[in-house]
Structure 1
């Protein structure tokens, strides 16, 4: 574990972390780890609604904060296995939301840039894994918070069967449905961590154990019909996955509607109602609006909804007679932060369309990357199974992950990753291949950063800048991101032919006093002119 590198990346990440273990203490903890332990020296992050001894638990609300004197059992299991807590990560306040845009601590972007939301509520936990700061992280998942952020950041998200990972020491969102989740950059790591973390905790009344026989060749179902909310790219990406049978998911979607449009919203008030009443101004308006809807339900409403849910569970059980695993797109479409701001509640519901039924219907789920859309947005699928089918899902997810390794994304580079430049080997070592040379749209400026690298910034008075297009295996994206330090990041780069690809961009703040080298039309021309002069 390179403590200095971890600390540097964590400090540079915008809106990802709420609190960090001090560097000296982190070094001491890392040095004290027994190298023979199963997770020895692996740095990890913890969503800030899960207790870590000595670090405040805020649940995304500063006035709610308290400092626990012991770890949540799920955290302690990982520490006992040799993993090292780096700090606490940002989240949608009180884990209420799927956007990653509901926190007073900042709203992180997806690692793919372009203003794309990170997804929530486990926003920081997902980004901390995807940007390479930590090896894995813990989130929570009540309505999809362990799957939506995985989809939007191109990583793996495991939502185990409820109760397999203890929720003791977790700030409740919807106590009867809450679940601790695991993020990692690959299926093997995610499964390894989940196996260490799972296990019954005697003091936890929601903890449970169980297992279904492993099905080596499961029957895989896909939906008869799906709504991609006019997103042709996501629709085409999901069409690449083929199942064994088509099934009716209408009962699942109806069950999911009960979570935010039914009396389960009132369950959130059972734990947060007193705080909300005493500190209304401490809660973000959008979070408060969601929670307050819970006051409109009666006890009779709750029983009616439970009765209907039981009927829907019966329908889901019949589905499992036809198939062993159900595969859905994790999300039907993607949003930018600006688009979420236009309709924060309505678009949040769309993000949860294919996730929020899982815990109500007692399902396990694993989310894995599924390549990219033609316009460069991350695509993802989620594998669902009945309670305690976790081993079968892990096996199928591993198989899907292997297939995903053959998927690629197009990456535009404009500086030190160009052919023959000092960092080009980082692409070659990850199996990237050169597609060709082109230029950006005439709206970019190139600046010489203090590090000696160029920084590409979009803005007025720009020009067409020469870039190379590389084809990078999707499975290598996470590892590649670990080498990208602020102020550089990946974002959407417009090309001269009108298309957009993912590419290197520089934060505008970093070029305020940096020399403008746009006139050369590209890094190579600038270097050549410098050598001639």
Structure 2
């Protein structure tokens, strides 16, 4: 079934299924997936989480009955954590802080997922538990290190999954499996109970079928953890919906800085993705990404490899045979780095960050391909280090420079494989990025992961139930029109552009600002261009207060037969206004 959070909530409320029935079915499906799970919970292990829902009213628990997966370097109480290495295995007494938040909100863990050993890799093949195949074509890599979490989500056996992202592990697998991948601002999702890779850079990431679902998970998970010395408070400006203008600027690398490693499919897909952003109202700006790309090299060519050594020192020094050869080769090099190397790199990084902050401040978002190419498993086996390094070209700099990022699918390539871009900006811009990712998904209208379900705007239903309201506008409040600011300043965002049912007449009413009065006429009505905007309920009262007669708020029928709260007018507007129905659009009337 469709496991988006809104769809699942509707299925529970209607009685179509129950958590008990759903989880039983999902466990059967999950067991058929190849090299996705390191520990799939048994029915007995999962039953306490289902039973606990009886004391958690659905209305008060935003993730009630929602199944999720956990990368196996993140603790789940009573279940072994391996980090992809059997000799490292331990059984935690308590869950990671972020897992505790999700379970408290009603989410149900389904199992622990496969990963590149010690979260070192972007390929999904560096595991003694087997290479995790891509959700669309098993010849291709799934991406790593959060391979199992991505494929479990794409295959529709969980609604979302937790990964980690130090160098791109929450974004590259999202790209390769047609998912949204949220790499939140460092510290907003606690790493208590997470096996460290680079402790100062590590982030818990979220894989989801939609940006709306990623928002819902983020809202629950982004809680300050006083026991995590890297935890950060989420500012009020990054809580709840954040508007992004309909006309926005986005920066891309200069042409000579784009790298596709000979992959013409991905090169073409990125060009088309840029065009999609321009169709949405974006203005492309080409900027010099040199400081970002130079910073990326520091992650594996600089002293941050020493952090990986610190995290695994006992095994590296005392039991190196427990590690995969490629992992040992990478991490053991960290033992040779000096304090002088570290400070030298920190100075270089600070200079790069200062330049980067200026670049980021000059545009609404920055955009790159999430990855420059998509390798087969055989190609990775031929050159495991060099080709893995290629996959980090657009990702390795992100945490070093303290940026927030969202990977979002935009299309399928000419060889029928997923492609996506990463949109990113400064720390604490997570909600802004998720809002834009939501709009990109609406525009692209791709399937959900590797499932049979199509993306639908109904995914916004969860947001509405959480305290927002849809408002239909037809005139001066349309995007780009004179009163649109009254929506955007209230944090409203564009949900849908469509037409009304062909049952209305429109009249231009004079005033300080000329306004349209839309009156229902079943006999000789026409359809009009309309937009549906979603705004916080807390802002709705002040918005309505500013509406002058003869306009008011009522219900308007859309072309598809649904009804939306929106602008209507009293009947006398026809006697004081000019009939402009022939235009079918306030925008066209004003242009005339």
Instruction: Give runs of aligned pairs for residues 504-519 of structure 1, distance below 5 A.
Output: none
Match of 2:250 among 220, 228, 241: 220
Aligned counterpart, 1:98: 122
- Preserved contact between residue 3 and residue 27 of structure 1 (Cα < 8 Å): no
How much has 1:407 moved relative to structure 2?
A: 8.3
Aligned counterpart, 1:527: none
CA distance in 2: counterparts of 1:216 and 1:383, whole angstroms: 13
Gaps of 5+ in 1: 412-425, 432-533
Q: Normalization by structure 1: what TM-score?
A: 0.75
Match of 1:323 among 363, 370, 390: 363
Gaps of 5+ in 2: 1-18, 276-282, 456-592
Instruction: Give runs of aligned pairs for residues 361-380 of structure 1, distance below 5 A.
Output: 361-380=401-420
CA distance in 2: counterparts of 1:104 and 1:176, whole angstroms: 27
Aligned counterpart, 2:264: 232
CA distance in 1: counterparts of 2:298 and 2:305, whole angstroms: 9
CA distance in 1: counterparts of 2:366 and 2:98, whole angstroms: 28
After TM superposition, the structure 1 stretch with the greater mean CA deviation from structure 2, 311-320 or 220-229, is 220-229
How much has 1:260 moved relative to structure 2?
A: 0.7
1:14 maps to 2:62? no
SS of 2:39's equivalent in the other structure is strand
- Preserved contact between residue 251 and residue 286 of structure 2 (Cα < 8 Å): yes
1:138 maps to 2:162? yes
CA distance in 1: counterparts of 2:335 and 2:309, whole angstroms: 8
Per the alignment, do residues 72 and 406 of structure 1 end up closer, same or farther by CA in structure 2, a change over 3 Å counting?
A: closer
Q: Select the structure of larger CA radius of gyration.
A: 2
CA distance in 2: counterparts of 1:103 and 1:290, whole angstroms: 15
SS of 1:46's equivalent in the other structure is strand
CA distance in 2: counterparts of 1:262 and 1:345, whole angstroms: 16
Match of 1:124 among 134, 141, 148: 148
CA distance in 1: counterparts of 2:446 and 2:89, whole angstroms: 45
How much has 1:3 moved relative to structure 2?
A: 1.8
CA distance in 2: counterparts of 1:288 and 1:58, whole angstroms: 16
- Preserved contact between residue 125 and residue 138 of structure 1 (Cα < 8 Å): yes
- Preserved contact between residue 75 and residue 193 of structure 2 (Cα < 8 Å): yes
Per the alignment, do residues 298 and 430 of structure 1 end up closer, same or farther by CA in structure 2, a change over 3 Å counting?
A: closer
How much has 1:304 moved relative to structure 2?
A: 0.7
CA RMSD of aligned residues (A): 2.0
- Preserved contact between residue 371 and residue 408 of structure 1 (Cα < 8 Å): no
What do residues 302-338 of structure 1 show as CA deviations (whole Å, max 9, x unaligned)?
1111000000001101102321210110000000110
1:59 maps to 2:89? no
How much has 1:227 moved relative to structure 2?
A: 1.2
- Preserved contact between residue 223 and residue 234 of structure 2 (Cα < 8 Å): no
How much has 1:28 moved relative to structure 2?
A: 4.3
Instruction: Give runs of aligned pairs for residues 2-81 of structure 1, distance below 5 A.
Output: 2-33=22-53, 34=56, 35-36=58-59, 37-81=61-105
Instruction: Give runs of aligned pairs for residues 65-214 of structure 1, distance below 5 A.
Output: 65-211=89-235, 212=237, 214=242
CA distance in 2: counterparts of 1:346 and 1:407, whole angstroms: 32
What do residues 170-204 of structure 1 show as CA deviations (whole Å, max 9, x unaligned)?
00000000000000111111110111000111111
- Preserved contact between residue 188 and residue 222 of structure 2 (Cα < 8 Å): yes
How much has 1:299 moved relative to structure 2?
A: 1.3
Per the alignment, do residues 9 and 407 of structure 1 end up closer, same or farther by CA in structure 2, a change over 3 Å counting?
A: closer
CA distance in 2: counterparts of 1:381 and 1:280, whole angstroms: 37
CA distance in 1: counterparts of 2:448 and 2:335, whole angstroms: 48
Instruction: Give runs of aligned pairs for residues 482-493 of structure 1, distance below 5 A.
Output: none
How much has 1:289 moved relative to structure 2?
A: 0.5
1:268 maps to 2:298? no
1:305 maps to 2:325? no
CA distance in 2: counterparts of 1:90 and 1:336, whole angstroms: 18
How much has 1:232 moved relative to structure 2?
A: 1.0
CA distance in 1: counterparts of 2:48 and 2:344, whole angstroms: 55
How much has 1:400 moved relative to structure 2?
A: 0.5
Aligned counterpart, 2:529: none
Match of 1:291 among 298, 323, 331: 331
CA distance in 1: counterparts of 2:295 and 2:454, whole angstroms: 43
